[in-house]
């Protein structure tokens, strides 16, 4: 999977949520948000440590999640290619991207079942189909997932699946600055 099919719609609703939150002053300390292609979001400060590359990271590729003919080395080579392309993003958005990669990789793979899999969904929009923010109890609280779904339980499961896809093949979709300037990649 290279991109979640609902990412464009979810991202639009997410930006509306951030805009409305800023207007209501509910999040006066709003900082950078980096959105990955399957809806994982890392909220960060620019003072955090950046990702230096897979060789120097704690990235532990979840080989057990690959289907029959898929090869780990193909995924790792593609991840390196994506990283080598995306790390070139310049200025503050580029710095945010590199920090988000580190936080996301360091948080690890969210294995199904057990304590690390415990998660909850919070609605970020109204309507029959809602944008949900999925957070994990025992993981980095600055990392969450966006999912469009009618049902909270389904949202939790789907958010977990999409987070796994982002971890297996991390690729940034967009970077959002504190003033809500968007850089799409």
pLDDT of residue 179 exceeding 70: yes
The answer to whether residues 129 and 148 touch, using CB atoms and an 8 Å cutoff, is yes
Q: Which residue in 174, 126, 129 sits closest to 147, CA to CA?
A: 129
- Grade residue 1 by pLDDT with cuts at 50, 70 and 90: very low
Per-residue pLDDT tens over the stretch 133-168: 999 887 888 999 999 999 998 998 888 888 888 988
In DSSP terms, 32 is beta-bridged to 44
């Amino acid at each position: 999977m290279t991109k979640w099919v609902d990412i464009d719609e979810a991202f639009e609703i997410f930006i509306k949520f951030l805009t409305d939150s800023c207007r209501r002053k509910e999040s006066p300390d709003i900082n950078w948000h980096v959105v990955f292609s399957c809806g994982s979001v890392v909220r960060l400060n620019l003072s955090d440590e950046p990702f230096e590359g897979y060789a120097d990271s704690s990235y532990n590729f979840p080989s057990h999640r690959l289907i029959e003919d898929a090869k780990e080395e193909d995924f790792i080579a593609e991840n390196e290619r994506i990283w080598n392309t995306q790390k070139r993003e310049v200025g503050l958005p580029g710095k945010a991207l590199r920090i988000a990669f580190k936080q996301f990789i360091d948080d690890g793979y969210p294995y199904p079942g057990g304590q690390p899999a415990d998660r909850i969904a919070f609605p970020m929009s109204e309507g029959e189909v809602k944008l949900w923010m999925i957070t994990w109890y025992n993981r980095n609280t600055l990392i969450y997932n966006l999912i469009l779904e009618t049902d909270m339980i389904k949202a939790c499961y789907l958010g977990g699946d999409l987070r796994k896809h982002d971890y297996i093949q991390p690729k940034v979709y967009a970077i959002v600055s504190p003033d809500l300037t968007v850089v799409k990649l």
